[in-house]
Amino acid sequence: MGNAAYLALEDGTVFAGQSFGALAERCGEVVFNTSMTGYQEILMDPSYKGQIVTMTTPHIGNYGVNWEDVESRRIQVEGFIVRELPRLESNWRSREKLEDFLKSAGLPGIEGIDTRALVRKLRTQGAMKGVLSALDCDPRSLVKKAIESPGLVGVDLVQHVTTENPYNWTEEDVWDPGHTPVEQEREFIVAYDFGIKYNILRCLRNRGFRIRVVPANTSAEDVLAMNPDGVFLSNGPGDPEPLTTPIENIRKIIGRKPIFGICLGHQLLGLAVHGKTFKLKFGHRGGNQPVKDLRSGKVEITSQNHGFCVDVDSIKQGNVALTHVNLNDQTVEGMECPDDRWFSVQYHPEASPGPHDARYLFDRFAQMLREDNA
């Protein structure tokens, strides 16, 4: 049994449980993820910067942590909430216990709370500011800290997760069902790092792309000077509207190079064409989100992690079309503008973790670049 730990929400609710990971205290937006597996990838997803993540699956940690499913340089979440942490992990790839993984990163976890009650509250009232602490045992003090903690709206979190220096990516995907890696290098792309996941880069590399990853605020002029065949806009954390420099750079690139955007990159494209975004009540986070492709009529089960959404009706510029919708709430999941040679999706086709239904989008990007070069 671990030390006592507490989760306090800004509405005054306090949950008591046991600590695992580091004896620490962190504040953040409390959200939930419905994935049954893939907790390591979730912990290391830069899109979770600034958030305390609740897992809805009761047992989390039973297959440990390995060195293959790494999605970024470090754990990105602010804290981790589970119903029960198994004391034994069992998997041939396991190299470390989940508890030790969090402890080495100095991040707190809490187990033994009623995660069903917490998730029902978040679904009913929306994502909330909160504090997870294994240090402060005073509920009133913790609630006060939660209320006074900064929210995510209007905050630039990308500066905390983007690369400091440009680099080339050469690692290939270890497993991509239904796709044979391209042996010969083909098109050259520049990938903006707003909090990019490694498996996105692996999927792009598997299509034969030569990839140059650049920091989030790299100027459009510098990118165009590299003369790429295309530009990729990555996922990332938080509110897209404060990212005025990336929005302006994307605006300068539109129409000059083919573009593919994912998640935050999708939202930034929407803002670059003078659309608007809004905050969802509790967001979409998990590996089981149904999305309909309006062009083919097919439904994809997708991996998602976002709390903001594009208002496609606010876009008045150009021939921008809605391509995908979320079947749970009818929100925007994809857009395209054939005239300016760009398309984007709100979800994560690299599927780490999650289903592989949407990996065809990387092939679509490759086909777009080949046609553009023909």
Residue 29 is among the residues annotated as catalytic for this protein: no
Cβ atoms 89, 62 nearer than 8 A: yes
374: three-class secondary structure by DSSP: coil
145: three-class secondary structure by DSSP: helix
Q: Determine the Cα–Cα distance for residues 7 and 143; give it in Å rounded to an integer.
A: 9
Share above pLDDT 70 across residues of the chain, in percent, rounded to a whole number: 96
pLDDT for 174: 56
What does the longest C-alpha to C-alpha distance in the chain come to? Answer: 66
Helices (H) and strands (E) in the chain, counts: 9, 17
Alpha helices in the chain (DSSP H): 39-43, 98-104, 115-125, 139-148, 198-206, 220-225, 244-253, 264-272, 360-373
In the predicted model, is pLDDT for residue 114 greater than 70? yes
- Annotated active-site residue in 10, 25, 300, 350: 350
Which CATH superfamily groups domain 158-373? Class I glutamine amidotransferase (GATase) domain (3.40.50.880)
- Annotated active-site residue in 266, 284, 306, 348: 348
In the predicted model, is pLDDT for residue 190 greater than 70? yes
Q: Determine the Cα–Cα distance for residues 6 and 180; give it in Å rounded to an integer.
A: 48
User: How confident is the model over 275-286, as a mean pLDDT?
Assistant: 95
Other CB atoms within 10 Å distance of the CB of residue 170 = 10
- Annotated active-site residue in 27, 203, 263, 337: 263
Q: Determine the Cα–Cα distance for residues 229 and 45; give it in Å rounded to an integer.
A: 27
Write the secondary structure of 298-332 as one string of H (helix), E (strand) and C (coil): CEEEEEEEEEEEEEHHHCCCCCCEEEEEECCCCCE
In the predicted model, is pLDDT for residue 328 greater than 70? yes
Strands (E), 86-236: 108-111, 128-133, 167-169, 188-193, 210-215, 230-233
Name the residue with tokens 């509110």.
239
Locate the domains of the chain by residue range.
Answer: 4-148, 158-373
Cβ atoms 64, 39 nearer than 8 A: no
Residues contacting residue 313 through CB under 8 Å, at least 6 positions apart: none
Mean pLDDT across the chain: 94
In 3D space, the residue among 252, 219, 248, 246 whose CA is nearest the CA of residue 233 turns out to be 246
CA 210, chain centre distance (Å): 23
Residue 348 is among the residues annotated as catalytic for this protein: yes
Residues contacting residue 314 through CB under 8 Å, at least 6 positions apart: 275, 276
Backbone angles phi, psi at 307, to 5 degrees: -120, 0
Name the residue with tokens 């046991």.
18
pLDDT for 176: 63
Q: Determine the Cα–Cα distance for residues 224 and 147; give it in Å rounded to an integer.
A: 44
Q: Determine the Cα–Cα distance for residues 5 and 63; give it in Å rounded to an integer.
A: 24
Residue 179 is among the residues annotated as catalytic for this protein: no
96: three-class secondary structure by DSSP: strand
- DSSP symbol at 372: H
Q: In the beta sheet, which residues pair with residue 132?
A: 7, 26
Peptide bond into 353 cis (omega under 30): yes
User: How confident is the model over 16-42, as a mean pLDDT?
Assistant: 96
Residues contacting residue 308 through CB under 8 Å, at least 6 positions apart: 238, 239, 240, 267, 277, 278, 279, 280
Amino acid residing at 99: E
User: How confident is the model over 41-55, as a mean pLDDT?
Assistant: 97
CATH topology (fold) of 4-148: Glucose Oxidase; domain 1 (3.50.30)
Q: Determine the Cα–Cα distance for residues 232 and 260; give it in Å rounded to an integer.
A: 5
Name the residue with tokens 């959404």.
309
- DSSP symbol at 197: -
In 3D space, the residue among 326, 294, 290, 293 whose CA is nearest the CA of residue 310 turns out to be 326
Read off the pLDDT of residues 193-243 as tens digits, 9 standing for 90 and up: 999 999 999 999 999 999 999 999 999 999 999 999 999 999 999 999 999
pLDDT for 101: 96
Read off the pLDDT of residues 126-166 as tens digits, 9 standing for 90 and up: 999 999 999 988 999 999 999 999 888 899 999 999 999 99
User: How confident is the model over 164-189, as a mean pLDDT?
Assistant: 77
How would residue 373 be classed by pLDDT, with cut points 50, 70 and 90?
A: confident
pLDDT for 87: 87
Q: Determine the Cα–Cα distance for residues 209 and 228; give it in Å rounded to an integer.
A: 11
